[in-house]
Chains A and B, each alone.
Chain A
């Protein structure tokens, strides 16, 4: 039933009931949702009134209120299409190339609370792959501070999640660190504080020399020295490879 509505039937229905250059009215949430779903699945039937290219924003929030806030922020914009779920969803914002990050940041600034956004840009024909990218970026970003993320911010993690033989190897490498909570906490804090030892020690409420000692143990167990940016990236990606829960996004 849904699939029929998704494709031809929806197209015909829309042609019939709408003036040719308009999207369904904002009140018609269900039809607009179907339209968003069709576009994000790569089924573009050439609806009139659509933009040539979109910023795909995959978002998630720690609470349902957070989701409601995001939806409220775009409610009055008739050009934005929404596919929402209980803990997150997708927004399609008409967008010129290279404007998507700014657009998403602007939106993020308007909502309070813990909200993560992953943004990718694509011409209308490539929205399915932009959606897949945004979903994976969001999944990785959920392990970091709330904010707006592009592929480049989680590039290494993204590539490794797409290459299972690499991610298995990294997960094995980091396993002995994960098995010891104090070491795991020390590494996580060091990563979150962008390699700032003093800040990481403060965050954990431990002495700086204790932190140094734990980081040395991490190096001994993994062969990667946290103070080196490349090695820290490897360790951070290994943590992602070890555990990166799926984000509940609508299908």
Chain B
């Protein structure tokens, strides 16, 4: 559907700016007007960039017009902000409540056969949504979860693109399920997110595969207890914890880890020996090193 976005916004928003210029009580009107416009633009599949441009010029035109008529600048600015926020949220939520209905486990009309749930950490979901919208369809639930009507593999590369675009401190945790089992997918995404956060993993896109071992350990009481016993003697000794983490980051390379910690290579070897004495696990063995790292990461979870 082709229509003039600027004109639509201008027509819809005019009464709100007018009200804000000379009376109080424009707030409710702003919410309903912006919500209606946002949903309409979303279902018309307008790109977010296009909408933002139209929104800017509409705001400028209307504000100037009202100021010329002697309107209150402060009230006009407030109205403009409220309209923009509400418009964005309705626009991004897409088809009124579809995301919430899908996440709640019902499969309403218009739902896809399966979705990938994305749990977002480190950025406002609403900002992330616009980045996804530039690349394809996306739903935003009130819980802050994103729903991509795509298989995990496709969703994964999409997430990687968006993650790169944001750069810096953004974590995505993804899980895919058929639409009838979305509650499970949401739980899985949240579980991955919690593990990634407590393990101190770097920003990125995570699937269950990336935290499978940790999640299996968490679910197995004997293994969880044993991990606690491995960790206990290390916790009394922060220098050893730091050494394990540095070695992990260096892929087990002792020379690289020593450089990173500004210590001599022989110091690393001595600390490794201490760690083995205390835990029975050798940082020189990559599998043991990974278990030591898991124990430290899980320590934050307790």
Residues of A within 8 A of B (CB): 101, 129, 133, 150-153, 155-156, 158-160, 162-163, 166-167, 169-170, 173, 191, 194-195, 223, 227-230, 232-234, 236-237
Contacts and interface: CB of A to CB of B under 8 A. Distances in A.
Interface of B: 208-209, 212-213, 215-217, 219-220, 222-223, 226-227, 229-230, 247-248, 251-252, 279-281, 284-291, 293-294
B280 to A, nearest CB: 6
A152 B222 contact: no
A159 B280 contact: no
B252 A162 contact: no
A166 B252 contact: no
Contact of B291 (A152, A162, A166, A170): A152
A152 B230 CA distance: 7
30 contacts: A101-B280, A133-B222, A155-B291, A156-B291, A156-B294, A159-B216, A159-B223, A160-B213, A160-B216, A162-B222, A163-B215, A166-B212, A166-B215, A166-B216, A194-B284, A194-B286, A195-B252, A195-B285, A195-B286, A227-B251, A229-B247, A229-B290, A229-B293, A230-B248, A230-B290, A232-B287, A233-B286, A233-B287, A234-B213, A236-B287
A186 to B, nearest CB: 15
Contacts of A162: 216, 219-220, 222-223
A170 B280 contact: no
Contacts of B293: 229-230
Given A150-B280, A156-B213, A232 B220 contact: no
A166 B188 CA distance: 12
Contacts of A129: 222
A153 B248 contact: no
A173 B215 CA distance: 17
Contacts, number: 98
Interface SS majority for chain A:
helix
A159 B219 CA distance: 8
A152 B248 contact: no
Contacts of B248: 229-230
B281 A153 contact: yes
Contact of A228 (B208, B251, B280, B281): B251
Contacts of A160: 212-213, 216
Contact of A232 (B216, B217, B286): B286
A169 B287 contact: no
A166 B195 CA distance: 15
B209 A156 contact: no
A169 B285 CA distance: 25
Nearest to B283: A229
Nearest to A150: B280
Contacts of A159: 213, 216-217, 219-220, 223
Contact of B287 (A101, A166, A191): A191
Contacts of A163: 215-216, 219-220
A167 B219 CA distance: 13
B188 to A, nearest CB: 11
A170 B226 CA distance: 22
A170 B290 contact: no
